[in-house]
Homo-oligomer: A and B are copies of this chain.
Amino acid sequence: MPTLDICFSPDLLPLYDLRGRIAVVVDILRATSSIVTALAQGVAHLVPVETLAECRALAADNYLTAAERDGVQAEGVDLGNSPFGYLDGAVPVQGRNVAITTTNGTRAMHLSRAADEVVVGAFLNLGAVADFLRQQGRDVIVVCAGWKGHFCLEDTLFGGALAALLAPDFDVTSSDATLAALDLWEKASPDVAAYLLKSAHVRRLNRLEAHKDMEFCVRQDEYNLVPVWREGKIVKL
């Protein structure tokens, strides 16, 4: 039976052998939610880069640039880290490519490179990711982007929600991290937004940008697509 483990921080990834596994990278607030939204809105592909300089450099290749640092849009780029940047029409995104860098999300992706496949997960595409993983039947590790290496509730809840969907066909009991995430999900699932209002990260986001981002990012199955990171590009499967 394939296993589902959860890594609570990119800083703990050295403990895991990613080979042979599918890594589901999750940064609910907001990188992976935005990536899913971008592809749903017709973005052709995204390139996750680690630095602002790399991000800006890709503008020369006709990329839209999306960058956030410490929760706010970086200077001189087209988009921030809000999924609404791909929805509000202020910047037309259909058919465009996007270079994206965020505080936590892109770092988590780059550190997950050793996995057989890197999938982008969010509540927005939770069901689609679960279906894909079930189809693949391989060991899964959910890589929580966290906040600057720290444990985050919202990414953990995604891990719990995914484990709940994949049990009992996946082993979700051999990892204490997965067991904890399942219990937290059980507690939070009746009203995820209300639960997350107490989280440190959400309160940080509240200060920095509208609360509506969070409410959007916890919607489940808004989009039926699975983004994968292949040959440097995040594309719809």
Contact = CB atoms under 8 A, between A and B. Distances in A.
Interface of A: 8-9, 11-12, 14-15, 147-153, 156, 173-177, 179-180, 183-184, 187, 198-201
Contacts of A153: 176, 179-180
Given A175-B200, A176-B201, A200-B176, A150 B183 contact: no
A63 to B, nearest CB: 32
A156 B179 contact: no
A156 B181 CA distance: 12
A1 to B, nearest CB: 15
A61 B148 CA distance: 45
A173 B203 CA distance: 11
Contacts of A184: 180, 183-184
Contacts of A174: 200
A15 B10 CA distance: 12
B198 A179 contact: yes
A156 B176 CA distance: 10
A170 B88 CA distance: 42
A188 to B, nearest CB: 8
A172 to B, nearest CB: 11
Contact of A9 (B12, B175, B183): B12
B149 A15 contact: yes
A201 B187 CA distance: 23
